[in-house]
A and B are shown apart, each in its own frame.
Chain A
Amino acid sequence: MPKKRVAIRNHQAEAALFSRRAVVCLAIVFAVFIILLNNLYTLQVKNFQEFQTRSNSNRIMVLPVAPNRGMIYDRNGILLADNIPVYSLEVSPAEVRDLRETLTELQTLLQLDDDIVDEFYARLRQPRRFPQITFADQLSEEQVAQFATVQHRFPGINVEGRLQRFYPHRDLFTHALGYVGRINQQDVARLREMEIYANYAATRNIGKLGIERSYEHTLHGQVGYQTVEVNNRGRVVRTLDFTPPTPGQDVYLELDSGLQRLARYQLGTRRGAIVMLDANSGAVLALYSNPGYDPNLFVNGISSADYRALLNNPANPLINRATQGRYPPASTIKPHLGLLGLELGTITEESRVWDPGWYRLEGVQRRFRDWRQHGHGWVNVTKAIAESCNTFYYDLAHKIGIDEISSFMQRMGFGERTGVDIAEESPALMPDRGWKRARFNEPWYQGETLSIGIGQSFWTVTPLQLATTTSVLVTDGRRIQPSIMRAIGDGEQMTQRQIIEKEPIVLNNPSAWDTIRKGMEMVITDQSGTARTAFRGASYTSGGKTGTAQVAALSDDTDVRPDLEDVAEHLRDNATYIGYAPADYPEVVIAMAIENVGGGGRNAAPIARAMMDYYFATDDARAEMLLTQAAAYQQALADEQQRLAERAAAAAAARAAREAEAARAAQEPVTIEPDDAEGQNDAND
């Protein structure tokens, strides 16, 4: 029994011990729960604000919304730059599990080119502004519909619709309008510096050239914001708040689509540029450089093949010949020089010079030739302009001297940018002694002054510069800055541009203006005026001046002029022309330079005639003109195509003949390898 009692006591003691330990455990449990609760209290009550903020910043995102870019219209309200909806396939690489496989699948599904895939991988490696990368742009409606049916199978890939710039007239306005292109790293840096990068947060394209670039701030508008709730993959769940973007303002241009088209039709396949200005307001009515190129190529980032083609095109379509082409002005600056002579008193209206067909500086053996072999006889300043007498101007330039010429011509606007509202402009060159010394480390030679007298030597101008300096001549010295932009905004909000004028040229001898204009009228009206034929029968009066710039000089030893057809094309003369109309109250001025076509009277003046005819015509007549001109233009293009084809065929035939000859020669001493024989068969085909 005692043993049993001990056992029972043990049993009770053991139970008590367990209970004590259990109570200790429960106390610990209680304490731990208090610790847990205290920690949760800290999180949920004490630091609630902080965590609430962090929770919100997790889920709430502010997304920028790109504003719609302003439209661009011509002076008649014809749309030049449009916004069209496009659909693109956007990829969020972080959300796509097997990128390569997914893209291959999509490529076969939507029948996309390999190029598109390659370009995507190229973009993937580049630094980018948005988390999404465009896989394929310009999806067709069918492709969008096709993708929509299988979208659920492609997480991280979606179709995005947005507005994109479109230039309906393609290459007609390129050099004035410019284009927009993708914002690149340099643009980003520039926008950051200007502290307006935030405004571009959602914008893909920015004006790169021309009007699109100059009026970027006007056209772009103000970014909007969308406050959205997103999930952890950044996908938008719902919109909480929306501040709409302010669309960009529309821009109206001074350009006239009709004139622009006419300029293109007139130039046809010839390289060159035409500028037409409103003489009294500086409005750029036409600014066309031929050849142009399609600006739409650049909007989405030009493909390297397209870009290479443009760069390697011997006609240099990327150059804006109207503002960047530097041409010797040739005889078109004779009125300006005459004006200077009259102003300085070097000559009077009556002063005469005998032109035997050449001019010789005293003590110099070399003869400076006139374009008319046997000379113009006695010429005064007006006749010298009308007939474009070189000898008179050799003499005049020699008498005035390079210093006076340079400084006066610079006042007229030669050798400086006109300030037109596009950035792509060259100041061209008005040479002087200082320039010559700096450029060649040589003194100025007298012979060079003579060349200056007929607008050759180092003197270069842009067609736009020619036009503005002509407007100076016809407005008695007003120096109006040319402008492509006409007005900004739409409807009642529209603001017209201000006319900006530089310090005018005031002459001591104001009658010199009339004298010079009389000379320019005689170019049209005089029996031997150089543009007489071109303007015969015009319904309006006008003045002008032709120019023929030598590209290659003739040998001094020969007086024989080669036939134009015999001269290689790139050595042929450039044709230039300046003009204005009507003669009494000039409204418009025109200037042009056409490369390697021959004389200005034959090749440039008729174009000026056509442009002015159009300007003064009624609406119906204008439409009629464009219609016939368009047909002629198409014909000219077709002819050119054929000519090129014939030339290529002739070259191929010549080569084949040469090869056949070589083969026949080779046949006698050695046997021909079978491979070679096959090659010859191909060549003969």
Chain B
Amino acid sequence: MQTTEERQRNRWLAKIHIDGPLLLGLLALAVVSLIVMYSAGGQDQGLVIRQAIRMGVSFIIMLIVAQITPQFYRHYALPIYIVGVLLLIAVLLFGEVGKGAQRWLNIGVTRIQPSEILKLSVPMFLAWYCSRVHIPIRFWHVLLGLTFVLVPTLLIAKQPDLGTALLVACSGIFVLFLAGMSWRVVISGGALAAASLPLFWFFLLREYQRQRVLTFLNPETDPLGSGYHIIQSKIAIGSGGVEGKGWLQGTQSQLEFLPERHTDFIFSVFAEEFGFYGVIGLLILYGFVIFRGMLISMRAQSNFNRLLGGSITLTFFIYVLVNIGMVSGLLPVVGVPLPLISYGGTSMVTMMAGFGILMAIATHRRLVISHG
């Protein structure tokens, strides 16, 4: 599908296995992140520098990952998945507790967060599984696939880390959907999921998670307690208006009415200072990255590549949806960062590794495309 012309133009980028448009989109998001970070962090240069260093490291990781051919991932998808699940079990048994949840595993040298590995290993494993069978996949493939998804999802939800569990589940289900899971299954599955919501509510959610959902449904009932975050966030976004209050001029963020303003609620800072125009621009930027990711996946040469690329891209979209939906009061508060903009290292590394895989899919092409 790629024209010769295009390949020639990006020849030197192709050599280092980089997709130009995707890189451009990611760099643009990184720049936005640093600009907003300076404002959200109370004009703390140290914070911006630390974020910039993390970004640099993440881009290098992306670059490294992009050099590895997708074949490699396909080959090791199963063992990586098994190791990941075992690590999750280990976390539940010996994990370290932080902020009321058990997410970290001390492996002597450093602490790792196995759930992050699963964000990539689940779609990898399911893409491998689906690419072994014929597409569209059959019903029992779906059933088996869902089981593979459910095991790590439940283990992560048990930590409890609802945000990551949601993202891992999505990444797996996207593979199944893209692999041609029949519409009947999609619809009845959705209905079944809706029907099982009460079960979920009573048996899986912890008290504070239930509280979050209740708060989401009516934040004004508890304006000083758990509803405070959402109310302040909505005030920040709303008071930004069409044109915004201007960079460094957002009163909600500068005067610290906004909670978690350089992490989960950074979108509110952006919306307050840059207004509705800024928000449109940011969504276009995200839309471009997602579109480019899907395009790369569609052009991929194998089912594994397509499914994996598609899932990574759509999971990225879920990050955007959940975060913006949360801070603007459409969705309950789930700890999902605004991808590539929120402050924080671990998830950014994972995400950039994912984009590294996308770049690998885009650039490691077998030269068998000259068929008619």
Contacts and interface: CB of A to CB of B under 8 A. Distances in A.
Interface stretch (A227-235, A354-362, A476-484, A573-581): A227-235
B271 A58 contact: no
A37 B287 CA distance: 12
B251 A58 contact: yes
A-B pairs with lowest CB-CB distance, top 10: A51-B238, A55-B239, A231-B255, A14-B135, A43-B238, A44-B276, A51-B239, A232-B256, A48-B241, A232-B257
Nearest to A55: B239
A18 B279 contact: no
Contacts of B287: 29-30, 33
Given A14-B135, A52-B241, A22 B294 contact: yes
B325 interface: yes
Contacts of B174: 25
B307 interface: yes
Contacts of B91: none
Interface string A6-35: 000010011101110110011001101101
Contact of B255 (A33, A36, A229): A229
B237 A21 contact: no
A231 B256 contact: yes
Contacts of B255: 58-59, 229-232, 237
B174 to A, nearest CB: 8
14 contacts: A14-B180, A14-B303, A37-B279, A39-B325, A40-B237, A44-B237, A45-B276, A51-B239, A52-B239, A54-B238, A54-B239, A55-B238, A59-B255, A232-B255
B298 A58 contact: no
Contacts of B321: 32, 36
Contacts of A29: 287, 290, 314, 317
A217 B261 CA distance: 48
B283 A55 contact: no
A14 B300 CA distance: 12
Chain B: interface size category:
35 or more
Given A18-B135, A18-B298, A59 B178 contact: no
Contacts of A58: 232, 235, 251-252, 255, 257
B356 interface: no
Interface in A454-472: none
A51 B257 contact: no
B298 A40 contact: no
Contact of B238 (A21, A22, A37, A48): A48
Interface in B183-237: 232, 234-237
B324 A43 contact: no
A44 B271 CA distance: 9
B275 interface: yes
Interface string A116-145: 000000000000000000000000000000
B276 A55 contact: no
Contacts of A40: 237, 271, 276, 279, 324, 328
Interface string B234-273: 1111111110000000011001110000000000000100
A448 interface: no
A102 interface: no
B78 to A, nearest CB: 21
B324 to A, nearest CB: 5
B239 A10 contact: no
B263 to A, nearest CB: 16
Nearest to A26: B294
Contact of B235 (A13, A22, A51, A229): A51
Chain A: interface size category:
35 or more
Contacts of A229: 251, 255
A234 to B, nearest CB: 10
B344 interface: no
A40 B178 CA distance: 30
- Tell me the interface secondary structure of chain A in the complex: helix
A540 interface: no
Contacts of A230: 255
A54 B235 contact: yes
Interface centre among B280, B291, B297, B306 (most CB of A within 10 A): B306
Contacts of B251: 55-56, 58-59, 229
Interface string B273-315: 0011001100100110011001001100001001100100010
A25 B314 contact: yes
B148 interface: no
Given A21-B180, A32-B321, A231-B256, 6 more contacts: A14-B180, A21-B177, A22-B306, A29-B290, A39-B328, A39-B329
Contacts of B330: 35-36, 39
A50 interface: yes
Contact of A51 (B177, B237, B306): B237
A616 interface: no
A346 interface: no
B120 to A, nearest CB: 19
A26 B291 contact: yes
A629 to B, nearest CB: 64
A10 B257 contact: no
B25 interface: no
A36 B242 contact: no
A40 B234 CA distance: 9
A43 B178 contact: no
A36 B283 contact: yes
Contacts of B257: 58-59, 231-232
Given A37-B279, A37-B283, A229-B251, A43 B242 contact: no
Contacts of B283: 33, 36-37
A47 interface: yes
A389 B310 CA distance: 124
B345 interface: no
A368 B325 CA distance: 103
A41 interface: yes
Given A36-B330, A39-B328, A17 B180 contact: yes
